[in-house]
Chain A
Amino acid sequence: MDLIWTQTSRRVLVYGLLAGAFILFIGAVGMIAAFHEREVVDRFISLGQLMLMLAPFVTAYYVAGQVAERDQDRPLALVSGVLIGLLTTVPTVILLLFNSDQYRFLLDLTLRLTPFVAATITAWRMHRAGAEAQTALGAWLAIVLLVGIVTFSFALIFEIKGNLRSVLVNINREWVAVVTFDNRGDLMRGLGALALVSTVSGFAGSILYLLPAVPRRALIYGLGVTALIGAFGETARLILQENVDRDTLREIFRRDTLRQNAALALFIISTAAGFLWARYGGQARARFGSLESAQRRAINIIGLVLFVVIMLMLPWLIGRTLSDVAVTIGIFVLMGLGLNIAIGLAGLLDLGYLTNYAVGAYILAVLTSIGPLGLFKGTFTFWMVIPLALLAAMFAGFVFAVPVLRMRGDYLAIATLGFGEIIGKLAISDWLKPLIGGAQGVQAIPKPIFFGTELKNPEQLYYIVLVASLVTLFVSIRLNNSRTGRQWMAIREDEDVATAMGIDTARAKLLAFTLSAATGGVAGAIFAAKVGTVFPNSFTVFISINVLSLIIVGGIASNPGIVVGAIVLIGMPELLREFSEFRFLLYGALLILMMIKRPQGLIPSKIVTHETRSGVKPKLATAE
């Protein structure tokens, strides 16, 4: 019992404070205040507040699970939920106190006392462990001096600057307003509100875990859907406005925010749907599994047809702004499918994929532009140049593959990274300026014309991307199941053994690089036509990293995974433009989380699933 208590209490303490540190961190970088601008439910809760509640909620859910499973003690799980809620507020509360004029003396006091307290504790423990009195005293003095220098410097800074704000610029009025739930005037009331909200969230998290499976899944689904649609209110409204009349729209949204009634209705509906699925979903799947194969195939075909129809109608369903996002996603899907040939199928970690993208874009730009840099001033059309862009990118892929054929794993990655940088520098160089315009780039690229119609809207360009993606998808599925695909698989597994099977590894790798480059060229060309101008700034190493990340997040060697990865990593940031300063922070956090919790990706391929289940670590490339 004692043991359980100490283990459990330590776990609660650590996780609670970690969640608190997380809250404090995202506040200190300015995320909470920025996310407060976006309301999830009108005049009820903002995205920033949602984050404040989500941290104790999720942590309590997780810890309650551990307590309930390991200690078999359900009341204890509830208590730990409440405690986590309280603990989560601790770091924030401390900072709030330090920050207020009234309680600033606490900060001074802490800074002054810290060296003495730390030194005394250490010296006492040394003494208890049997150290000589002199040694302990020496240690005491040393620590007082060392820690004292640090805290003294801090104290000096605050003395000079007068407050914390000069050091932590985002610990400002807006932040205080959000974390005290608009009780900036009365700090104690603010702290009470924070503690109450956080505790209730923690308690709710632990209760949720203790519910029976069906209502629990239903609630998670309902809460998740409501929060997601609320957070992406602008997107949801853009979709609805294409399909619903203005009055209804006004009932649901106030500007871009979900109204309270609408949110409630949405929550009830999605929870009910979640309940039905949790209750009867298993049965439905079992019945589907017991159907005869002909019937099953029929259902699958109906599903596929439905999917294709939706994809074809998408621009009408989602409107212009979102079609534009869809085109961008599509361009990255194209590149993801291409790069997946090198990385997913052949195991060649290529970090220079942007080369192909740049080549495709510049080829299209120079050949079709009607501006001063256009070589043919409109003689060549988009449709004539697309195959050229494809071939040029393949050629570039081939040329850059030759010198790195003998390299493996990490070395290959570094070499290709270098090539990518070279291309970026060439694009901006004076040397090529007469041809591709240096930093000014190439302008006046005409839009594609399809049987007399100029495809100038994103809704129209969407179809080009869709067709290109479908063709690529088809080719890569066929490749995967072919003799060539086998060849790549063997190389990915073990290059030497592949050679011993009679595979010409040099040729197979060249082929992988060349084919992989092809879709990059097409993507670049479509991008150039969509934007109408091509600047070197568009071709940074982040293109390569984005494409690689979307493959990893979606699921390596998994075609549906790549589409989902592109939606998550490319589409979401486009929809959250106002938070773009946090883009890479969120991006990094997402990648780390994925690598720890779901290294096989969102929709893993069959082989990778097998790998991770059997305890073998998935590997990116054939590292030696």
Chain B
Amino acid sequence: MALLEVKDIHTYYGNIHALKGVSFEVDTGEIIALIGSNGAGKTTTLRTISGLMEPREGAVYYDGDDISNTRADLLVSRGISMVPEGRGVFAKLTVEENLDMGAYVRRDGDIKEDFKSAYSLFPRLEERKKQFAGTLSGGEQQMLAIARALMSKPRLLLLDEPSMGLAPVLVDGVFDTVQRIANEGVTILLVEQNAHMALQIADRGYVLQSGEVAISDTASNLQQNETVQKTYLGID
């Protein structure tokens, strides 16, 4: 059974029909890439899954339960963690406090280990743990946002445009990290405009176009797909 199943969801911004029946599945342990151009509905899909928006029709199933109308904050304790677009670190809290906020829903109290593993994943953050998050560079903020999302010990990690606004050198690093997180057993749903990088680490991918799934296939097939090459990979 799929860990996450999105079934024919329709989401609106007021009267604007943003998602027109999006369906896809994410199995445990997979890395899934949602690619598409600006305004295709990628972020809206993530916001609908994470509970920040509600679908008007259709449903989202997580672990077999319908979570379409479940509040976002409750989903965090059920194991869905999101790295929002534009990173969204708390600029006026220190790195350490940011990570602490990530563990907000944890009730088991033993978060020392998680701090350790966050710092081993991103040694850079340990060097700067007393620094205000707002003073970090873009790449470091992205690391922090990901590390913070991991602090809640998620089963499903939703990543919204992790490469946005980063220098190409840093982008490689971010995707390496995503791969390493997946190797540790976290299922990943990745939304990216940078289709090239996303498809390199993903198992399967879905191409969104004006609020609908246009193509779905394995990542390697998508990389060979002529339309995808033309439209999203810039290969003629």
Binding site for B on A (CB under 8 A): 483, 486-487, 489-490, 493-494, 496-497, 499-505, 607, 610-611, 614, 616
Contact = CB atoms under 8 A, between A and B. Distances in A.
Nearest to B90: A493
Nearest to A606: B92
Contacts, number: 69
Contacts of B90: 489-490, 493-494, 497
Contact of A614 (B88, B135, B152): B135
Given A496-B88, A500-B52, 9 more contacts: A486-B100, A489-B92, A490-B90, A490-B93, A493-B92, A496-B52, A502-B73, A502-B75, A505-B73
B84 A611 contact: no
A504 B71 contact: yes
B45 interface: no
Contacts of A503: 73, 104
A610 B97 CA distance: 15
A494 B148 CA distance: 15
Interface in B205-230: none
Contacts of A490: 90, 93, 101, 104
Interface in B74-107: 74-77, 81-82, 84, 88, 90-93, 97, 100-102, 104-105
B91 to A, nearest CB: 7
Could you tell me the dominant secondary structure of chain A's interface residues?
Answer: helix
B137 to A, nearest CB: 14
B12 interface: no
Contact of B73 (A489, A494, A499, A611): A499
A503 B50 CA distance: 13
A504 B73 CA distance: 6
B122 interface: no
Interface residues on B, range: 20 to 34
A499 B152 CA distance: 13
A501 B97 CA distance: 13
Contact of B76 (A486, A496, A501, A607): A501
A502 B105 contact: yes
B84 A497 contact: yes
B145 to A, nearest CB: 9
B58 interface: no
A486 B100 CA distance: 9
Nearest to B85: A496
Given A493-B91, A493-B93, A499-B72, A610 B104 contact: no
Contacts of B51: 499
B175 interface: no
12 contacts: A486-B101, A487-B104, A494-B88, A496-B88, A499-B52, A500-B50, A500-B84, A501-B152, A502-B105, A503-B73, A611-B92, A614-B132
A19 B117 CA distance: 62
B134 interface: yes
A501 B134 contact: no
B132 A500 contact: no
Contacts of B52: 496, 499-500
- Among B51, B72, B82, the most chain A Cβ lie within 10 Å of the Cβ of B72
Contact of A486 (B73, B74, B104, B152): B104
3 nearest A-B residue pairs (beta carbon): A502-B76, A502-B105, A497-B88
Contacts of B91: 493, 616
A486 B101 CA distance: 7
A89 to B, nearest CB: 48
Contacts of A611: 92
Contacts of B75: 502
